Structure 1
Amino acid sequence: MWQRQKGGDSSALLQAKNINIGVGVQDVEYISKKMAMEVFSAYSRDAFQLMSERVEVFAHTYIEHLLRESPESIENIKDPGVQAAILDAEAAYAKTGDDDLGSLLVDILAKRTMNMSRDVVQLALSESISVAQKLTSQQYSSLSLIFLLRHVKLGAGNIPELHQKMRDNLAPVVAEAAVTNTDAQHLVATGCAVLQAVPSTIPNAFLRTYPGFFCLGLDPNDVTVKQLPDEYFGPCLRDPEKVQVHSADSEVLAERMEKNQATTDHRQMLENLLVANQMLPDDVINEIASIVPPISHVHERWEKSIFGQLTLTSVGTVLAHSNILRVTQGKFDAPLKIFLPTS
């Protein structure tokens, strides 16, 4: 959460008790107020004063965030790479005063402070601090929309639960997303996304990710169904007189088949039946629109743009993840490492 706290010259405004933070906070105060001021010294007096105030706000918010998430990481602020990241982040916020940008930068900077391994995640976090200031709040949410459609699987046990997940995670992202060719081209130009040859529509993304929730059912007397063990089937979620493969998606099905040591032939038949007799794309988008009304307008713009061809880079993933934490106010809580594995 972005906090606008402000105190006197010698106060740290740290709402943390019984935490031994050593000299870490002093290091932050020095970096934020002294080194940053040297960078901003070329600005006019009024600009310098405003940027100084913003740096102070940013520093306090960052320290408090870090103390909540990983108080032991405060010692990492002594590292030159972390100090460079701090200066980049506070400079970006000081120049704009944009609270959405400030919120993203605090989250990304805290993650960068915690990550002392020189790996893809650390590099992506550092680069994201630079790129974040080149995007609008609406473009952050555009990245989060791609993130949800292409890279995330919202865990749900039934259709009502999936609908609630949409309200919690998809709705706030869709409400802010900017989906035009200009936005798409900008996301590519800033290194947040890359173009793929084969586009994907919004309803097809849901059909691909959640096939078990959009199945219209199979005839229980179907020849293929009869050839397979009953344990793989259950009542259709949308038509109790029919059956469906009793798996929400291909990963759940694969685990079940592996556990039961299914034959190669049975595996192929089950994989085909999982995606058989699915809802039409138009019906899918209409159902989603009944839960998240703004998706209709976004879907129309998506179809007329190159957004369907975009997939996220590591930098785009970092920004999308931080933004969705912001707009869902913590309802989306999957850690970044899930989406940027290092091994």
Structure 2
Amino acid sequence: MSWFRQRQSGGDNSHQIQAARDVYISKGTQPDEVVRICTELVRSEFERFTATARQIVEERAQEFVENYMCRQADVAPAAISSMEQPYMQRALQHAQVEYASSGDADLGSLLVDLVVELSQKEHRGTHATALQDALTMAPRLTTQQMNALTVVMLGRVAVFHWRSPEEAISAFRSHFIPFGDLPSTGADFRHVQGIGAAWIGFSARKTFAENLTDVYPGLFTEGFNRSELPSQLPEVVVPAAEPDLVKFTFPSARELKLVLEAFGIDEARVADCLTLQKSGTLAPDIVTDTILENVPEMSSLITGWTAWSIFELSTTGMVLADAHLRSRTSGNPPLVL
């Protein structure tokens, strides 16, 4: 069974497997040899199981290998040769055993994505090391806990290049709602910290709207008078919703700062622009009401967000959240560690 059929162009599972085999051959790698290597990697592990359990795990391991080969050929065919490296074989071995033991297709697809992502990274780099840690950590997290990591990443790490509230509302539907089922017990908080996926930072708890307006102060805004702009700026404003007012083209404070600095604007005027950007920001309760009027399904996520707003993600937590995000959505902002 293909775990990625919805992400691919179509065709039944046998056609996808044959297409993957053709890609491997085109790269000078024999697909049967890949299957043999993967089988050998887990043979000694499965020999310890009882006959009934061994049959189950061997079938699941085969299913994992088929999905891995299809995904590798589809996403990163140029990295197929990385499988000859010991660190990649170790990653494949661990991922196969974990999926074969659980049989959880969601976990299986996540592990496949992590292995394929690892194949494209420089070995021993920070990203590759985090991916290898993530392969060990993923089976130890519940779906709800993975949702929490993903929501924290979306709210505090990812940078969306929204230009209007409407674009943000659309992203809430496509990228946030799928992860709205969040855990809320002390055991969940302790577990996520205990395995090293995240930790409690020093910042105060914030509501979803408070965090949103901190990161994107120019998104939900009344605007300001053009006359308030510092002198000699490039054209970086557009009309606001309020008549005769304008707002910055870039709602994100981080993005606005980078753009102004790229134009050579001095530090004092950049600071004035950032202050001006915040001056028209709507109150958090108004922002919350606006979001819920347009996307009532955000209610549970908004409620659950506050408890998780104080968490900082480790690099491993970030790559896990990114993989979980990609498993359910497309058109995602790139992860920058």
The alignment's TM-score, normalised by the length of structure 2, stands at 0.87
Alpha-carbon distance in structure 1 between the residues aligned to 2:264 and 2:128: 40
Q: 1:171 to 1:76 in 2, by over 3 A?
A: same
Deviations 1:176-235 (A, max 9, x none): 3334433222111111112101133311221122211122223556xxx16645756745
Shift of 1:259: 5.0
Shift of 1:86: 0.5
Identity of aligned residues (%): 24
- The amino acid of 2:325's aligned partner reads I
Choose 254-263 or 282-291, whichever is displaced more. 254-263
Correspondent of 2:134 among 128, 132, 146? 128
Contact conserved, 1:73 with 1:113, CA < 8 A, in 2?
yes
Contact conserved, 2:163 with 2:249, CA < 8 A, in 1?
no
Shift of 1:74: 1.8
- The amino acid of 1:15's aligned partner reads A
Contact conserved, 1:179 with 1:298, CA < 8 A, in 2?
no
Correspondent of 1:281 among 275, 281, 284? 284
Q: What's the counterpart of residue 316 of structure 1?
A: 317
Alpha-carbon distance in structure 1 between the residues aligned to 2:292 and 2:185: 20
Correspondent of 1:294 among 286, 293, 297? 297
- The amino acid of 2:97's aligned partner reads A
Matches within 5 A, 1:1-343: 2-3=3-4, 13-16=17-20, 17=22, 19-23=25-29, 25-174=31-180, 176-199=181-204, 200-219=206-225, 225=228, 228-229=231-232, 234=237, 237-303=240-306, 305=307, 307-328=308-329, 330-332=330-332, 334-335=333-334, 338-340=335-337
Q: 1:23 to 1:179 in 2, by over 3 A?
A: same
Choose 76-85 or 161-170, whichever is displaced more. 161-170
Shift of 1:240: 2.4
Contact conserved, 2:145 with 2:188, CA < 8 A, in 1?
yes
Q: 1:44 to 1:6 in 2, by over 3 A?
A: farther
Contact conserved, 2:239 with 2:246, CA < 8 A, in 1?
yes
State the SS of the aligned residue for 1:194.
strand
Q: 1:39 to 1:283 in 2, by over 3 A?
A: same
- The amino acid of 1:319's aligned partner reads L
Contact conserved, 2:215 with 2:252, CA < 8 A, in 1?
yes
Deviations 1:281-300 (A, max 9, x none): 11222222234323322332
Alpha-carbon distance in structure 2 between the residues aligned to 1:302 and 1:258: 33
Alpha-carbon distance in structure 2 between the residues aligned to 1:117 and 1:162: 36
Choose 86-95 or 264-273, whichever is displaced more. 264-273
Contact conserved, 2:219 with 2:281, CA < 8 A, in 1?
no
The alignment's TM-score, normalised by the length of structure 1, stands at 0.86
Q: 1:255 to 1:23 in 2, by over 3 A?
A: closer
Alpha-carbon distance in structure 2 between the residues aligned to 1:206 and 1:235: 21
- The amino acid of 1:97's aligned partner reads G
Contact conserved, 1:6 with 1:57, CA < 8 A, in 2?
no
Contact conserved, 1:86 with 1:109, CA < 8 A, in 2?
yes
Unpaired segments ≥5 residues, structure 1: none
Task: Provide the alpha-carbon RMSD of the alignment.
Answer: 2.6
Contact conserved, 2:38 with 2:93, CA < 8 A, in 1?
yes
Alpha-carbon distance in structure 2 between the residues aligned to 1:2 and 1:121: 25
Contact conserved, 2:229 with 2:273, CA < 8 A, in 1?
no
Alpha-carbon distance in structure 2 between the residues aligned to 1:47 and 1:6: 25
- The amino acid of 1:269's aligned partner reads D
Alpha-carbon distance in structure 1 between the residues aligned to 2:38 and 2:136: 17
Alpha-carbon distance in structure 1 between the residues aligned to 2:230 and 2:13: 70
Unpaired segments ≥5 residues, structure 2: 6-11
Q: 1:261 to 1:315 in 2, by over 3 A?
A: closer
Give the total of aligned pairs: 327
Shift of 1:256: 4.3
Alpha-carbon distance in structure 1 between the residues aligned to 2:115 and 2:263: 46
